[in-house]
Amino acid sequence: MNRNISRKSKIKYILNNMYLEPLCLYFILFFTVGAVILRAVVYIIGGIFLPFFRILFGDNLSKITRLVKFFISTEVIIIIGVIIVFIIILNKIIKKKFFKSLLLYNIFKYHKSDFKVYKGIILPFLFSIILILYFFLMFLSEVDILYLCLFIFTLLISITLLNYAEQINKIMYSIDNIAKLQKTDISYIGSFGFTLEAVNMLNNIDQNISETIESQLKSERLKTELITNISHDLKTPLTSIINYTDLLKNLDIKDSTALDYITVLDRNSKRLKVLITDLVDASKTETGNVNINLKKLELNELISQIYGDFDSLFNEKEITFVFDPQEDIYVLADGDHLGRVLENILGNAYKYTQEKTRVYGAARREGDFVIFSLKNVSKEKLNIEPDELMEQFVRGERSRHTEGSGLGLYIARNLMELMNGELLLSINGDLFEAKLVIPTFNK
Amino acid sequence: MGDDLIYNILVCDDEKDIVDAIEIYLKSEGYNAICAYDGMDALEAIENNDIHLIIIDLMMPKLDGISAISKIRAEKNIPIIILSAKSEYTDKVLGLNVGADDYITKPFNAIELLARVKSNLRRYTSLGSMQKEEDVFEVGRITLNDRTKEVRLDDNIVSLTPNEYGILKLLIKNRDRVFSSNEIYEYVWDQPAYNVKKIISVHISNLRSKLEINPREPDYIKSVYGMGYKIVGD
């Protein structure tokens, strides 16, 4: 009983999961072989039991013999086979699985690009197949050495054609790999003639491309190193400027003009300090020359931690930071770098928000990402495209008299990208919004 | 601290202007500055003088700072403060590993420099002289006495609000342990925490401005970003 069930389900499984073409082939095999065997068995049984049947059926024997002969005739078996195949196909169509169960359809769907190459040789290939068959049949009927030679000749032509197509296919595959900057081993193509040349050329191209990329990386690294070294050299004279300005401030100077000049010196030397540090950071984040240590972090805690240092500054300008997190939101990010990004956009909000207004911060989940948005009302008219703001040395008011380096958002954007996230800015009238897209933490 | 003793501080940098500026600052605070302009100079000065603290640059001719520090450390235990334009994390770690006690990056702030000089001198001169009391907790320059409810910074009393005191006590008692905002609130306020992250961060910021030399780069009350806060130090 159990075995019956399992056999039934096995057949069902085969019917459901086998591609239609091989299934039909099996049926044809089953019915052709089956029909021959069936006929043989019936004739043997009929021969052995003929006297017995004669007694049993008497006069009707000739009718029954004709009936049995009819049922085991090739035509009837073919018709039965066709009907069964038809039922299976109908069943698949009703279940809307007809195309999916076709082997050809699947091959074309998933290996389409592999077949494109063969399209070009379809006509000559078919023609040579027909010639092969023709010469083969002629050879069979006449056993002539000429037909044998022609047969082998056409066979060779079609094999060569296939081989060519195959090699072009592999070359195309290699070009695709090179374009995707994947390491390709082209030498495996067994090649001769023009394909050998093509393979050599491809190898050269591959080598050239990797060399270019390598030298590009090297020059980027050198650039960062150069900027870092220059910044070290700049810091030494700057240290003197800052400290002697500080010493000047501490002197008992009565002249108000001199005091004004000292204030200007003080402000600008400090600005220069910020610029130099930010320049190094901008260059490092641009080339990805920073260590990224992704960890599970609670975003609301982090935002609050960064905000803590801005609280007194915001209070000075009577700006309220509206931020009321309800639940814990976990993200996968580098705490120090995400902290820096938040510092930059909060610092930006502090610098450019209209006094006595509110700054809104909120984090929410969206699919695989967490989005933190910070909205504020700009104190000045923003005549600038949001994307432009993230370029180097660009500021909203297109002037350079305010504090900061103009690199803050550029660094923030680079850092977000290095952490697989994004920084998006949008401007709607005076409403400015910065959005951080951060990957969520998934176990 | 013996007030009658004038501390000798060795300042070593290849940039004369910077050495001069530091000398002016140190003299204004009553220290005696001894100047050196390269690593060999510095070693010589240490041989010939009774030095109490060293401020040293890393990039110098003849003998660089790192080698000089390891040579000094092989013989002497005096506090060493590195003063360098290199601001990389790895540079700091290298400097502190060789045996320096503190690290200041150029361009430096005079107030910060003097505070660090004072703090390092105090630790050097009072090391071992303090006897441990039951309710007294100490981290670097900060001392919290839970019996008298006093917090001292380099021996000066700091006035804290009760909540700030509570937070400091919790963190200093459990040094190196990270507390989230919610945990801090539940311990200090003794109430269930609801939407308190902002409040805690503001309190922490205030605590830092009262206790740290540079509140933006705290030495003791550290933020563990996205997790909480902790106190570190020796």
Residue A384's pLDDT band, with cuts at 50, 70 and 90, is: confident
Cβ contacts of B203 on chain A, cutoff 8 Å: 308
Cβ of A161 under 8 Å from any chain B Cβ? no
Cβ contacts of A331 on chain B, cutoff 8 Å: 226
Of A118 and B211, more confident:
B211
Cβ of B112 under 8 Å from any chain A Cβ? no
Contacts of A297 (CB under 8 A, 6+ apart): A330, A331, A332, A333, A335, A338, A441, B225, B226, B227
**3-class SS letters over B69-110:** HHHHHHHCCCCEEEEECCCCHHHHHHHHHHCCCEEEECCCCH
User: Could you tell me the CATH number of the domain that includes residue A398?
Assistant: 3.30.565.10
Domain boundary among B126, B159, B190: B126
Exposure on the CB side of residue A403, measured as CA atoms within 13 A? 13
Beta bridge partners of A433: A375, A426
Evaluate if residue A143 carries a pLDDT over 90.
no
> What is the average pLDDT value for chain A, to the nearest integer?
81
How close does chain A come to B46, measured CA to CA in Å? Answer: 25
Q: Which of B86, B182, B195, B225 is the best residue to mutate to test the A interface, defined by the most A CB atoms within 10 Å of its own CB?
A: B225
pLDDT in tens, A341-374: 999 999 988 888 888 899 999 998 888 899 999 9
pLDDT in tens, A7-65: 667 677 766 667 777 777 777 777 767 777 888 888 888 788 877 877 777 777 777 77
* Residues of the domain holding B155: 136-231
- In this structure, the answer to whether residues A419 and A394 fall within a common structural domain is yes
**What ipTM, to 2 d.p.?**
0.79
Q: How many domains does chain B have?
A: 2
| Cα separation, B60 vs B66, whole angstroms | 10
Provide mean pLDDT across the span A323-328.
Answer: 84
Instruction: Copy the structure tokens of residue A128.
Output: 């040579």
- In this structure, the answer to whether residues B120 and B157 fall within a common structural domain is no
Q: How many domains does chain A have?
A: 4
- In this structure, the answer to whether residues A120 and A106 fall within a common structural domain is no
Cβ of A273 under 8 Å from any chain B Cβ? yes
| Cα separation, A283 vs A338, whole angstroms | 18
Cβ contacts of A340 on chain B, cutoff 8 Å: none
- In this structure, the answer to whether residues B150 and B200 fall within a common structural domain is yes
Domain boundary among A140, A157, A188: A188
- In this structure, the answer to whether residues B14 and B108 fall within a common structural domain is yes
pTM: 0.66
Cβ of A293 under 8 Å from any chain B Cβ? no
How close does chain B come to A256, measured CA to CA in Å? Answer: 24
pLDDT in tens, A258-301: 999 999 999 888 888 888 888 888 888 888 888 888 989 999 98
Cβ of A299 under 8 Å from any chain B Cβ? yes
Q: How high is the pLDDT of residue B2?
A: 45
Query: Nearest by CB to B21, which of A231, A233, A244?
Result: A244
Q: How high is the pLDDT of residue A327?
A: 84
Evaluate if residue A92 carries a pLDDT over 90.
no
B201–A339 C-beta distance less than 8 A: no
Residue type, A374: L
Evaluate if residue A438 carries a pLDDT over 90.
yes
Query: Nearest by CB to B197, which of A247, A296, A304?
Result: A304
Q: How high is the pLDDT of residue B1?
A: 44
Q: Output the tens digit of pLDDT for each of chain B's 234 residues.
A: 445 578 899 999 988 999 999 999 999 989 999 999 988 888 888 888 889 999 999 888 888 888 899 989 888 889 999 999 887 778 888 888 988 989 998 888 888 899 899 888 887 877 554 555 677 888 888 888 888 888 988 878 889 999 999 999 999 988 889 999 888 999 898 888 888 888 899 999 999 999 988 888 888 999 998 889 999 877
Beta bridge partners of B221: B231
Report helix angle A408-418 to A256-286, nearest 10. Answer: 20
Cβ contacts of A305 on chain B, cutoff 8 Å: 197, 201, 204, 223, 225-226, 229
Contacts of A259 (CB under 8 A, 6+ apart): A253
pLDDT in tens, A263-274: 999 988 888 888
Is A329 part of a structural domain of the chain?
yes
Cβ contacts of B215 on chain A, cutoff 8 Å: 309
Provide mean pLDDT across the span A395-405.
Answer: 55
- In this structure, the answer to whether residues A325 and A282 fall within a common structural domain is no
- In this structure, the answer to whether residues B140 and B122 fall within a common structural domain is no
Residue A192's pLDDT band, with cuts at 50, 70 and 90, is: low
Cβ of A235 under 8 Å from any chain B Cβ? yes
- Residues found in chain B: 234
- Beta strand pairing call for B156-158 and B150-153: antiparallel
Buried b (16+ CB within 10 A) or exposed e, A191-222: beeebeebbeebbeebeeeeeeeeeeeeeeee
**A353 closest CA partner among A375, A373, A385:** A375
**A19 closest CA partner among A67, A89, A72:** A89
- In this structure, the answer to whether residues B18 and B122 fall within a common structural domain is yes
| Cα separation, B38 vs B24, whole angstroms | 19
| Cα separation, A323 vs A319, whole angstroms | 13
* Contact call for residues A273 and B50 (beta carbons, < 8 A): no
Q: How high is the pLDDT of residue B35?
A: 92
User: Could you tell me the CATH number of the domain that includes residue B54?
Assistant: 3.40.50.2300
Cβ of B204 under 8 Å from any chain A Cβ? yes
Is B166 part of a structural domain of the chain?
yes
How close does chain B come to A295, measured CA to CA in Å? Answer: 9
C-alpha pair distances (Å), A61 with each of A38, A39, A71, A244, A272? 20, 18, 15, 130, 117
- In this structure, the answer to whether residues A276 and A319 fall within a common structural domain is no
**A174 closest CA partner among A152, A191, A162, A157:** A191
- In this structure, the answer to whether residues B118 and B20 fall within a common structural domain is yes
A324–B225 C-beta distance less than 8 A: no
Is B84 part of a structural domain of the chain?
yes
- In this structure, the answer to whether residues B32 and B72 fall within a common structural domain is yes
Q: How high is the pLDDT of residue B165?
A: 92
Q: How high is the pLDDT of residue A399?
A: 46
Q: How distant is the alpha carbon of residue A88 from its chain centre? A: 38
- In this structure, the answer to whether residues B191 and B141 fall within a common structural domain is yes
* Contact call for residues B40 and B76 (beta carbons, < 8 A): no
pLDDT in tens, A60-87: 777 777 887 777 777 777 788 788 888 8
**B113 closest CA partner among A242, A253, A262, A230:** A242
* Residues of the domain holding A121: 116-188
User: Could you tell me the CATH number of the domain that includes residue B152?
Assistant: 1.10.10.10
Q: How high is the pLDDT of residue A394?
A: 61
Ordered DSSP codes for chain B = --TTPPPEEEEE-S-HHHHHHHHHHHHHTTPEEEEESSHHHHHHHHHHS--SEEEE-SS-SSS-HHHHHHHHHHH----EEEEES---HHHHHHHHHHT-SEEEESSPPHHHHHHHHHHHHHHHHHTTTSPP-TTEEEETTEEEETTTTEEEETTEEE---HHHHHHHHHHHHTTT--B-HHHHHHHHT-S--SS-HHHHHHHHHHHHHHH-SSTTS-SSEEEETTTEEEE---
- In this structure, the answer to whether residues A248 and A274 fall within a common structural domain is yes
How many beta carbons lie within 10 A of that of residue B112, not counting itself?
15
Q: How high is the pLDDT of residue A219?
A: 87
Sheet with strand A422-428: strands edge to edge: A320-322, A358-366, A369-377, A431-439, A422-428
Q: How high is the pLDDT of residue A136?
A: 77
**3-class SS letters over chain A:** CHHHHHHHHHHHHHHHHCCHHHHHHHHHHHHHHHHHHHHHHHHHHHHHCHHHHHHHHHHHHHHHHHHHHHHCCHHHHHHHHHHHHHHHHHHHHHCCCCCCCCHHHHHHHHCHHHHHHHHCCHHHHHHHHHHHHHHHHHHHHHCCHHHHHHHHHHHHHHHHHHHHHHHHHHHHHHHHHHHCCCCCCHHHCCCCCHHHHHHHHHHHHHHHHHHHHHHHHHHHHHHHHHHHHHHHHHHHHHHHHHHHHHHHHHCCCCCHHHHHHHHHHHHHHHHHHHHHHHHHHHHHHHCCCCCCCCEEEEHHHHHHHHHHHHHHHHHHCCCEEECCCCCCCEEEECHHHHHHHHHHHHHHHHHHECCCCEEEEEEEEECCEEEEEEEEEECCCCCCCHHHHCCCCCCCCCCCCCCCCCCHHHHHHHHHHHCCCEEEEEEECCEEEEEEEEEECCC
Query: Nearest by CB to B225, which of A233, A242, A336?
Result: A336
